[in-house]
């Protein structure tokens, strides 16, 4: 599994490393797989400010047909548009708010050759976020992620169908 996580510079993230650790714990608890930072991509022209991280499940061939992209809508659109070919034949899970970009994101997703695409459930084009510390998680978690975490289903596709909106 490949997990793309946008770095956030919002005030609530005083130390983004806690979010990375929290997400790795979250992923381990669900899949019983370790995740390692495969690559850190920095902002263009500034090699001290991270833009996003690529986490990969370990062992590396585990669930290698699933990609997850987490970030704000503009980042998600840019990342998917730039890396379209990587998603061919894969299951793509997108964790973002649609906001005012619904047409743009739907148009982009319609061009992908994924086997399936899932999007965080939206409430008026916004994903519902919660303080993850209430559940022992060190990051803001969407309702879809929280429901996925607590799902009793063992099959990942059944869990995705139950807790995310299937686009394709």
Task: Round to whole Å and give the CA distance between 2 and 44.
Answer: 22
Task: Round to whole Å and give the CA distance between 76 and 5.
Answer: 10
pLDDT computed for residue 14 by the predictor? 65
What count of Cα atoms within 13 Å lies in the side-chain half-sphere of residue 104?
A: 14
53: domain range? Answer: 2-166
Q: What is the pLDDT of residues 128-141, one digit of tens each?
A: 999 888 988 889 99
Q: How many domains does the chain divide into?
A: 1
pLDDT computed for residue 11 by the predictor? 62
Region 87-105 average pLDDT? 92
């Amino acid at each position: 599994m490949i997990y793309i996580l946008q770095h956030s510079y919002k005030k609530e993230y005083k130390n983004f490393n806690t979010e990375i650790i929290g997400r790795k714990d979250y992923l381990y608890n669900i899949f019983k797989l370790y995740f390692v930072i495969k690559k850190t991509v920095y902002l263009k022209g500034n090699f001290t400010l991270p833009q996003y991280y690529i986490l990969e499940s370990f062992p590396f061939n585990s669930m290698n047909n699933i990609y997850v992209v987490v970030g704000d809508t503009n980042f998600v659109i840019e990342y998917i548009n730039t890396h379209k070919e990587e998603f061919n034949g894969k299951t793509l899970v997108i964790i973002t708010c649609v906001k005012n970009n619904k047409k743009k994101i739907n148009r982009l997703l319609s061009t992908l050759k994924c086997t399936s695409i899932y999007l965080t459930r939206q409430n008026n084009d916004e994903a519902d976020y919660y303080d993850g510390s209430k559940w022992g998680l060190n990051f803001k978690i969407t309702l879809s992620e929280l429901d996925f975490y607590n799902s009793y289903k063992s099959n990942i596709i059944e869990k995705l169908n139950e807790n995310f909106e299937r686009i394709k």
